[in-house]
Structure 1
Amino acid sequence: MSYTGRCACGAVTLAIAGAPITARQCWCRQCQQIAAGGPTHNAMFATQDVTIHGDLTGHHYVAASGNTITQSFCTACGTPVMGQSDARPQFRVIRLGTLDAPHDIRPLMAIWTEDAPAWAAIDPALEQFPRQPPPPSIPEPS
């Protein structure tokens, strides 16, 4: 399984050589700020499966989880491309909007739901976590 993607202007491209570990909808306040008030939609991949070409700039902050998060954006157009946590260097969290369509990835869970605004429409079929869920494990190669 593989995926490709790009930012809005095409200056940053992605090649992903593996299946997602999981996919999430995140309602934390920082994600709401970069997603114009709604959640971000993200797929988590093994770091070694993700190749990114082009110039990214990063913003670092300490999240409510206590982890230092780096949000990476295209330097040319500002498209959010990726997030990563210092606590989980084995993962790269790719914004679903950067992946070339069509793709088969959809969120399986909603996280940080306690930060969601009262008007948020969270799919009841998604597994929900009020805060940070336990970290997923990387499947063993077959």
Structure 2
Amino acid sequence: MPYSGQCACGSVHLEVAGEPVATRQCWCRQCQQIAAGGPTNNAIFKAEDVNITGTLAHSEWTAASGNTLTFHFCPACGTQIFAQSSARLHLKTVRFGALDAGHGLRPEAIIWTEDAPPWAQFDPSLESWPQQPPAPSPVS
């Protein structure tokens, strides 16, 4: 398996069988709320490539994009594991923090920059989007 990980308490484990279709840093307000004021850093995988063991809790809300986002997290320690958009159920957006150290991934793009606080710093070498970018290319 190319990637593995777990929550902070070890109750939830994940194995990912494929490479990400995209990696992004997100500055939307919801991500700032769940990331203590900063962005989330995420790898987007084909849903069927992500295997989760352990019990997850979830929460849903309507994002600025208009889609329903469902966030899955460990109910024991609160570690964010992945999110899924109602518009892209074939994809799972896995939080970098849920992956084992040394995974080697880094954001390829920064999204929702218009929601970032004035002190936010963006890597100028990365593609950036003021709001929601187009969906990642279809996966085969």
For the superposition of Structure 1 and Structure 2, which TM-score range results when normalised by the shorter chain? Answer: over 0.9
Within a 5 Å distance, the mapping from 1:1-142 to structure 2 comes to 2-140=2-140
SS of the counterpart of 1:25?
Answer: strand
Pairwise CA RMSD of aligned residues? 0.9
Instruction: Please report how far the alpha carbon of residue 124 of structure 1 lies from its aligned counterpart in structure 2 after TM superposition.
Output: 0.8
The gaps in structure 1 that reach 5 residues or longer are none
* Aligned residues of 2:82 and 2:95 also touching (Cα < 8 A): yes
Equivalences, count: 140
Instruction: Please report how far the alpha carbon of residue 104 of structure 1 lies from its aligned counterpart in structure 2 after TM superposition.
Output: 1.7
Give the aligned residue type for 2:39. P
TM-score by length of 2: 0.97
* Aligned residues of 1:16 and 1:49 also touching (Cα < 8 A): yes
Instruction: Please report how far the alpha carbon of residue 139 of structure 1 lies from its aligned counterpart in structure 2 after TM superposition.
Output: 3.7
How many Å separate the matches in 2 of 1:7 and 1:138?
A: 29
Instruction: Please report how far the alpha carbon of residue 112 of structure 1 lies from its aligned counterpart in structure 2 after TM superposition.
Output: 0.3
Displacement over 3 Å in runs of 4+: none
* Aligned residues of 2:68 and 2:85 also touching (Cα < 8 A): yes
User: How high is the sequence identity, in percent, across the aligned residues?
Assistant: 58
Give the aligned residue type for 1:56. L
How many Å separate the matches in 2 of 1:2 and 1:139?
A: 17
The gaps in structure 2 that reach 5 residues or longer are none
How many Å separate the matches in 1 of 2:10 and 2:138?
A: 30
How many Å separate the matches in 2 of 1:120 and 1:98?
A: 23
Query: 1:8-36 CA distances to partner (integer Å, 9 max, x unpaired)?
Result: 00000000000010100000000000000
